[in-house]
Structure 1
Amino acid sequence: MSQSEGEKKYIGAEHLRKRNNDIMKRFYRFIFISLVAFSCEKPIDWDLQTEDLNSIVVEAIITSEFKTQEIKLSYTITDMNANPLPVTGAKVSVSFQPYSISFEESESYPGVYYSTEQFRGATDVEYTLKIELDTIEYTATTNMVNLQIYNTPPFVYFPEVNAYRLLWDFYQYSPVEQSFTDVIVVWNHIPGYEHPDSLSSARLQFYKFKTIDVSYIVAPQDREKVFFPQGSIAYCSKYSLNDEFGAYLRAVLIESQWQGSLFEASRANPLGNISGGALGFFAVCDVMRDTLEVGQ
């Protein structure tokens, strides 16, 4: 190889090296500028437009227990940290052939209405809720389905923390039954947990639907694990859900606890079964209750 040829190859290699260095410098410069640009923050005051719904929220679950039934009415709110104002002075009734039961507002708890007679929900009966407030009338119609079976909650002991935990999936699938289970666990009667500032109670809720929801399966399973000591008292209530009430609760979960998955749902108030623009749901549920001592 001649000297001129060697010099040419050296010059070519040096030129290629410089060009690659220039490309890498430009690339790193681009990355640096991008990081600086996207990391800059600028405070913006959003002028959020809130809509005055001028409506009410209805919480009405009639159960299969023979007792004084309860209905709660409140006004809608636009601030998530605000306490809803109670709806007072409404005329409330629940009718089913051949009866019509009126509800009277509690003097101690404004917005809470109690039935003037004790009664229970039953299957094969159509129930109609009627609320009269000023010049507006709200109505809803529903029916009750029976519970299939009651399952005792599985409390499992964890020796590493010397405590128990309820090992139930938050959401379950069943092709034959829809239900909602509410478990309230208290342990403030156990020595060492009497202080009012200590965590001494928990409320756990579990749902069973006839659908398999990807929004729950894909969502991060980072629900808080609640442990409680031996001797805690668990108050368990299982409610039946007809198809309409099950669909409503599923929509509420998609709007709230199931948000954050790969399949985001648009934010909106889930539609209930109450006419006149009211929010909430009127339901009649078969219920089974049980009281357990954890670890016994």
Structure 2
Amino acid sequence: MTQHYLLLLLLLLAACEKETKWPLQEKKTPVVVVDGMITDETKKQSIHLTESFDTLNQVPLPLSGADVIISSDGNVYHLREKVLDPGTYVSETAFAGQVNSEYSLLVNSSNKVYTAKAKIASGVVSFTPAKFVWNSSNGLYSVESVADVYTPDPPAMYELILDWSHLPGYASSDSVSTHARLIYYSLPTLDVSEIFAPATEKVYFPAGTILVERRYSLTTEYAAFLRALLLETTWHGGYFTTASANVPTNLSNGAVGYFSACSVNSMILTVGGK
């Protein structure tokens, strides 16, 4: 009797089989990715152009041969691609972005035009330097705090550039072992994904390290872009991961990324002894 039941079960399973063809998405044409920021510092401003990719951990390909222009208040600045750094376009002349002035970006690539507008909404804002903590286990320092996770003040991005290559015992070390660049954000939102974000590797450095700390004032729109980007990258994979969503952009014609304009305040200090 048991054999009859098994045979009947096999017949039922076989009768339920149905061939299914899964539609495979065709490989899409790469999308133009713009990473550009102008600041109120008098310097040659730069724009980075790459192509999107659909393979995990793939290195983005630079977008070469584009015509790039930044304009504002009747001034037009042409950008040229760096020969030794394809995809990076630098203004032919140095200029400083002005507060409350609107800047237009125009990129012409493969007969397609992409545009964006950005505005420096606020001037330089003073800030308290980063705090460090000495670690007794290795005799080195690490960053303790930079800015509040949530602050009612205007949103900002903090860039910490650390250099200890000049110290005894490090002169012969390579650049990767003696330099570090850390980025922190102070955004007008409080996300659970940020609070419970995956742990990141802590950077340690010796006393005497030279720190250049820069504060970038962000517009509300740029802060919203950075928040969405962080939710999809740095803050993704924690205990409270949010549903994936498209990251906003201010680029036209299907391009992605962001063109921003920021005021910058900076300071230089030396990390103290124990």
Q: TM-score, normalised by structure 1?
A: 0.77
2:210 to 212, 215, 233: 233
3-state DSSP of counterpart to 2:206: coil
Instruction: State the distance in 2 between where 1:283 and 1:205 align.
Output: 17
Q: Which residue of structure 2 lines up, in the alignment, with residue 97 of structure 1?
A: 73
1:7 alignment partner in structure 2:
none
Aligned residue for 1:247, secondary structure, equals helix
Structure 1 CA distance, aligned partners of 2:24 and 2:106? Answer: 35
Match of 1:134 in 2: 110
2:253 counterpart of 1:276: yes
Counterpart in 2 of 1:172? Answer: 149
Structure-2 residue corresponding to 1:39: none
Alignment of 1:209 with 2:196, yes or no, is no
Alignment partner of 1:218 is 2:218: no
1:293, 1:105 → 2: CA distance?
A: 35
In structure 2, relative to structure 1, the CA distance for the partners of 1:197 and 1:186 (3 Å cut) is closer
Amino acid at match of 2:267: D
Tell me, what secondary structure is at the counterpart of 1:230? coil
State the identity as a percent.
35
Secondary structure at the residue paired with 1:199?
helix
1:117-160, CA deviations, whole angstroms, 9 ceiling, x for partnerless residues?
A: 21111111111111111221100011112243222111222334
Alignment CA distance shift 1:196-1:66 (3 Å): closer
Corresponding letter in the other structure for 2:73 = Q
Find the counterpart in structure 2 of residue 80 from structure 1: 56
Worse-matched range after superposition: 120-129 or 188-197: 188-197
Structure 2 distance, partners of 1:73, 1:198, is 25
Superposed counterparts of 1:1-296, under 5 Å: 49=25, 51-145=27-121, 146-168=123-145, 172-193=149-170, 194-196=172-174, 199-220=177-198, 222-295=199-272
TM-score by length of 2: 0.83
* Separation (CA, whole Å) in 1 of partners of 2:250 and 2:103: 12
- Report the Cα offset of residue 65 of structure 1: 0.3
C-alpha separation in 2, matches of 1:174 and 1:50 = 45
SS at match of 2:86: coil
The AA in structure 2 aligned to 1:291 is I
Moved over 3 A (4+): 46-51, 266-269
**Aligned-pair RMSD on alpha carbons?**
2.3
Given the superposition, is the C-alpha separation of residues 244 and 50 from structure 1 closer, same or farther in structure 2, using an over 3 Å criterion? farther
> 2:57 & 2:37 partners in 1: Cα distance?
25
Would you say the 8 A contact 1:148–1:177 is kept in 2?
Answer: no
Map Cα deviations across residues 87-108 of structure 1 (whole Å, 9 max, x no partner).
1111111111121111112222
Q: For residues 235 and 79 of structure 1, what CA distance do their matches in structure 2 show?
A: 35
Of Structure 1 and Structure 2, the greater helix share is in 1
The amino acid that maps onto 2:173 is H
> How far apart are residue 268 of structure 1 and its match?
4.8
Change (3 A) 1:107 1:219: closer
8 Å CA contact retained: 2:130, 2:147: no
In the alignment, residue 242 of structure 1 is paired with which amino acid? T
Counterpart position of 1:21: none
Runs (5+) with no aligned partner, structure 1: 1-45
Q: Is the 2:125–2:265 contact (alpha carbons within 8 Å) kept by the matching residues of 1?
A: no
Q: Report the number of matched residues.
A: 250
SS in 1 for 2:154: coil
| Corresponding letter in the other structure for 2:130 | P
Q: Return the alpha-carbon distance in structure 2 between the equivalents of residues 281 and 50 of structure 1.
A: 27
